[in-house]
């Protein structure tokens, strides 16, 4: 809940499940999301507009990628694309 009201999924309209901190929400009715609250606006983590400027955020957990370890294409032998590893959750964020 944010601001005392239940958040609804922008894709299907179902009530979103809050992970407990009021910042990360998941829809258990459709494959959309996860969603994050940014400046009072619900934002889809997979929306490419979310990753803007130098304020890059992890697509999985929403954490900052400011101190992420970058792995260049083929650097570890089997990755065809460059990615940043999230220091919070370990997700490999494609660039």
- pLDDT per residue as tens digits for the range 44-91: 877 765 544 445 788 888 787 878 899 998 887 888 889 999 988 999
Mean pLDDT of 35-46: 78
- Cβ atoms of 40 and 32 closer than 8 Å: no
Which residues contact residue 65 at a Cβ distance below 8 angstroms, ignoring those fewer than 6 apart?
A: 56, 57, 58, 84, 86, 87, 93
Residue 5 has pLDDT above 60, yes or no: no
Predicted TM-score (pTM) above 0.85: no
- Answer for the pair 51, 40: CB distance below 8 angstroms, yes or no: no
């Amino acid at each position: 809940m944010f601001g005392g009201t239940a958040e609804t999924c922008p894709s299907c309209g179902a009530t979103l499940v809050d992970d407990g901190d009021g910042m990360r929400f998941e829809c258990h009715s459709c494959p959309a999301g996860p969603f994050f609250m940014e400046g009072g606006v619900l934002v889809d983590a997979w929306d490419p507009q979310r990753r803007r400027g130098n304020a890059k955020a992890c697509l999985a957990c929403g954490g900052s990628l400011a101190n992420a370890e970058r792995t260049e294409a083929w650097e570890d032998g089997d990755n065809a694309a460059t990615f940043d590893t999230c220091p919070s959750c370990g997700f490999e964020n494609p660039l």
